[in-house]
Structure 1
Amino acid sequence: MLAKLLLKDAGHQLLDFLIIVRNKFLVKKGYPRFKKNARSVEYKTSGWKLLDPKHIEFTDKKGIGKLKLIGTWDLAFYPEDKIKRVRLVRKADGYYCQFCISVDVKEELPPTHQTIGLDVGLKEFYTDSKGKNEPNPRFYRQGEKRLKFHQRRVSRKKKGSINRKKAINKLGRKHLKISRQREEHTKRLARCVIQSNDLVAYEDLRIKNLVKNHCLAKSINDAGWYQFRKWLEYFGVKMGRITVAVNPAYTSQNCSNCGAVVKKSLSTRTHVCACGCRLDRDENAAINILNRALGTTGHVGTWILDPNASGDLSSTFVGAILHQQDGSLIEESPYL
């Protein structure tokens, strides 16, 4: 059996490999087969063994056999008892083998003595309290023309045919590319923001409620606000920065200078107050977000670790209540 696989570590540090599957024990050759509605299989600390840094063998008698790993990462660097999970995952562009490795990835950064508030939006990806903004790339909108082309190709093929499966695979590859573009974009921005500031404040948005507006649902999903917050909190824990999620209510309506309520519709992009304050709508909201964070309003997303404490906590998950905490954040690209 010969196939291309990509190996990712889903632990505290991600490792990427291009690997080739060679199975000399199967009589019938082909790619790994999953059940109808399954795309992955997960092993814990048994059912597999590393033969050497470049080979892994599955010993659960399911016929997977031996996999050859090709890549720049050396698994021998990590003790085998640190590998907590091994997954085989099928995606549109091939098969992935994911290693979950328990390692400490905290970084020591000097303080910057800077604080920032972020207001995410659809026109600009985010606007900060200093008046700077980041453009919204709109990856889905850019690729929508090609997506429609591939969707038409799928609809024209006979159901159950090999050509239809090939067309579906091409459509899936396009969707996968867009999702990866969005993920890497939010990851890059989140890392830059966390490195440059000691405290980052953002809105505690409920994305699943916002997308109920069918007029804006596509644009909201395309923006990737959830991924951005997820990576802000992850890098906040990793680099020892403070991230605070505040209540977004009236951050766009209240004046950041005097606190007066200035009602405005979504089409009104400039905040003008009787006190003489005149700002971009999103900059005014970002300043309000930062002021609420500094006023201890909201909950801390990245917990400040007590040096006398016996353990540490991860950031608060989006939409979770405070007592529902996880002990780790375990995903990162090797390119970071």
Structure 2
Amino acid sequence: MVRTEPSAPDRHLIQAVAASGLKLSPYQLERWRAAGLIPRPGPGTLLRSGNTQIYTPETATLVAGLLTCAPLCRSHDDLALLAFFNEVPVPCAPVRAALLRTYFPQYMKDREQQSEELQRIPAQDRDAALPEYNWAEAAAALDMQNKEAVRQMRDNLRRRRDLKEASRAELDERVRGVLIWLNAPALPTHDSVFMADLCAAMAFSRQPDQSRAAWLLAAHCHSEQLAERCVTSGRERLETFLAVTDDDLVILREQVRESLDAMWYMASEGASRHFGLDSPGMARLAGRMLVEWTTARQAYPPRSRPAQLLVDSLHSLWSLCSADFAGEGRAAFQRRTQSRPRYRGRKNDGPESAGTNI
């Protein structure tokens, strides 16, 4: 890149942020301008000050925000997302591009992993069950990678008298069974054996710190069961996101932040009300949630908010688990699980639903 002496507006901008203790180089300005993170000089971005032109105060605020976030970031995408979720007035174009590059590669990776898990199910079992159950089993296999939630469910199940001496393998199989049905279109509330396992795994009557991760995972899955299920594709999700207006993008940001705050409040047992979006990794997580919600919200009533859906889902689980289910003994469980359970529900054409991954 050819470097020239900074223009008068650039020199004034460098001096303005320096007054706040921030160091800005002309090279940074050039790179950020080329990436679309700051506007180019022109109408609406410059003001007349005597015989010279200077950037507007809004541009100075934008640059100061970028300088605060920049030391944590290795790419312009990370910088755009971290600044955006921390309410720095970044132009929407680079934020949209960063959201696309953050969400869709991970979406495709997740779909590939789910397909791989599906293929691990024996062919005769896949043919014997409806597609919804097969995909629920594949999703549960991926959820089993959530080590903290699985550990809490396993420990909670072991507190049940009939499972006190159960092996880890048996407890893991029961956790997997709970997760399969949490990923299915609906819980089999008529199945007292399953409901007993669900109640024990959730342990709503015990200390919250023993089950927070389990509650969050279960509430996330169950919230999808409260939605209208419909098949989507990656292309449809892309088209839905591209149709989002700039104003709606800001609203979606606030809804995602609200949802993260709600989850963090729950996870911290009320000790903290705000989730710190203070790293590129957290900003990427929030970005994927935002893009996912643009599709997922279509499966819920208008004006639904993901934070409220999470709370409603947890309340629903608590209500379902308030009944007294006795469960079954180890021998009965082993006999029952010798053959793979069948899902009996409405037929669907594919694994993807609009109400997913809130």
Counting strand residues as a fraction of each chain, which structure ranks higher? 1
Q: Which has the higher contact order (CA 8 A, sep 6+)?
A: 2
Range into which the TM-score falls when normalised by the shorter chain? under 0.3
Counting helix residues as a fraction of each chain, which structure ranks higher? 2
**TM value normalised by structure 1:** 0.24
